Amino acid sequence: MTQIALEPISSIKELQRRIRSLATQKNAIILSHYYQRPEIQDIADFVGDSLALARQAQKTKADIIILAGVYFMAETAKLLNPDKKVFIPDVNAGCSLVESCPPIPFKQFIEQYDNRFVMTYINSSIEIKAMSDIICTSSNALKLVQMVPPDKTLIFAPDRHLGEFLQRVTGREMVIWPGQCIVHEEFSADQIKELKKKYPDAKVIVHPECGSSLLEIADFVGSTGQLLKFVQQDSAKRYIVGTEEGIVHQMRKHAPDKEFIVVPPVIGCVACQQCPYMKLNTLEKIYNILLNEPAENEIIIPEDLAERARIPVERMLEWTDK
Ligand code: 13P
Ligand code: SF4
């Protein structure tokens, strides 16, 4: 495809208008995660958590999917749509959880256990998915853990905080891989306690990727989609939000009369309530994908790997619906 140079467009509104018009022209769908920049969320066809994004990708009739999120989300969309073109606006939009679980040590780790059942968080590489029995997200993990045959040694990877949370709530013994998210790891229970002193009426809502000291003091723990639903249905007027700040854009839209306080960064940590990977995507990069369909941004997965990784992803969707 002949590459078209991007002319500078100074107005966000004009850029958004051009993206929407090109997306319609090319029958492209833009799927955005809640942690994307607000101006991206605003032009997306769909904004959701990782499970909802996978479901949208599964049912779309579009020819092109642009996944405004991180790499593993685009890979999941491609797994579910092998015949469609799937693009990520910035190929460096990775995830620290994915990096914390490299394939070779993970293979050695799981092979220590006979009669194992490997449940892997969707925040993992395609190679790790291919070694798994089922994938989960933070919205269906509690349900899926309880469906794993009781005689199996349950291995959970790569997020140790989510794994420990599932173990505590369900009582199911697990062998847990020690990975973590660099964003959620930074939130501290002391900061939340300070905020609670200032806003005693506020409810604390956190993502299960946070450490156990936060999860224990939270009024509600859930995936990004579940946190958004909670603030819409709950009666409180103020919330202390322990997750990436992008979600607050939707919270303010859907519950405009409520106040949302994002847990501030610890001293010395600049903007650490922002995911540096999620924030790599920009409107300009999305526009470039639609104009040029750059080969380097297209998700390509070797077929033998895709075949193996697709099985646990499809099993997740099936079991979630049971
Ligand atoms: P959700 O499943 O809640 O969208 O979480 C994905 C994620 O990367 C959180 O850090
Ligand atoms: Fe990965 Fe954490 Fe960013 Fe989510 S917030 S994409 S888990 S690094």
Boundary residue ending a domain (166, 181, 196): 181
Q: Is residue 240 part of a domain?
A: yes
Pair 246, 175 in one domain: no
Q: Which residue has the tokens 């914390």?
A: 100
Pair 153, 206 in one domain: no
Pair 142, 198 in one domain: no
Q: Is residue 194 part of a domain?
A: yes
Q: How confident is the model at residue 270 (pLDDT cuts 50, 70, 90)?
A: low
Q: How confident is the model at residue 127 (pLDDT cuts 50, 70, 90)?
A: very high
Q: Are 94 and 70 in contact (CB under 8 A)?
A: yes
pTM of the model: 0.96
Whole-angstrom distance, CA of residue 209 vs CA of residue 159: 7
Domain membership of residue 228 as a residue range: 187-262
Ligand 2 atom closest to residue 98's alpha carbon, by position in its atom list:
1
Q: Is residue 199 part of a domain?
A: yes
- Residue 133 has a pLDDT of 98
**How many C-alpha atoms does 172 have within 13 Å on its Cβ side?**
25
Ligand 2 pocket check for 244: Cβ under 6 Å: yes
Average pLDDT in the chain:
95
Q: How confident is the model at residue 9 (pLDDT cuts 50, 70, 90)?
A: confident
Handedness of CA 272, 274, 277, 281 (dihedral sign): negative
Whole-angstrom distance, CA of residue 81 vs CA of residue 261: 38
Joined together, the tokens standing for residue 94 give 């990775």
- Residue 268 has a pLDDT of 62
pLDDT in tens, 178-218: 999 999 998 989 989 999 999 999 999 999 999 999 999 99
Ranking 120-124, 220-224, 269-273 by mean pLDDT, the lowest is 269-273
Task: Tell me which of 71, 138, 205 to substitute to probe ligand 1's pocket, judged by most ligand atoms within 8 Å of the beta carbon.
Answer: 138
Q: Are 130 and 110 in contact (CB under 8 A)?
A: no
Pair 173, 111 in one domain: yes
DSSP state of 2: P
| pLDDT exceeds 90 at position 136 | yes
* 298 φ/ψ angles, rounded to the nearest 5 degrees: -85, 135
| pLDDT exceeds 70 at position 272 | yes
Whole-angstrom distance, CA of residue 124 vs CA of residue 122: 5
| Number of structural domains found in the chain | 3
DSSP 116-135: EEEEEESSS-HHHHHT-SEE
CATH number at residue 234: 3.40.50.10800
- Overall average pLDDT of the 147-171 stretch: 97
Ligand 1 pocket check for 56: Cβ under 6 Å: no
Whole-angstrom distance, CA of residue 181 vs CA of residue 247: 16
Q: Is residue 257 part of a domain?
A: yes
